[in-house]
Amino acid sequence: MPGNTPRRWKRQPATIPISLVLKAENLAEDNAATIIDFTLRGVGVLTSLALVPGERVRIVASKESPDAISTRVVWVREDEDESSNWNFAGLKFLDPLEA
């Protein structure tokens, strides 16, 4: 999770519905995830998936588009509302050669 160091890229707030797909054996999916902010290097998301830093996750913007954006989980934080099942996560875009 980001500390007190200055950010390289300014975050832009957003509310964009997306699907997240874990690139793992079980292929877990969250069709109700939301991008909450973005930069040139990645996105902040709200998801019901229990993500772990280092995991690879694909972002699918809509069901009509077969294209997915490959990312890696950088940090995860549970929602402070204990009755919520949501997690906040920072996802870094992967270079095409890493995907």
φ, ψ at 95 (rounded to 5°): -65, 150
pLDDT digit string, tens, across residues 42-97:
999 999 999 999 999 999 987 667 788 999 999 999 888 877 889 999 999 998 76
| Mean per-residue pLDDT, 25-41 | 89
Domains delineated in the chain: 12-93 (2.40.10.220)
Closest by Cα among 11, 62, 10, 54 to 33: 62
pLDDT at 3: 55
Look up the pTM and report it.
Answer: 0.83
More confident residue, 29 or 7: 29
Token pair listed for 81: 């509302």
Tokens of 41: 């290097």
Alpha carbons 70 and 93: distance in angstroms, whole number: 6
> How many residues can be counted in the chain?
99
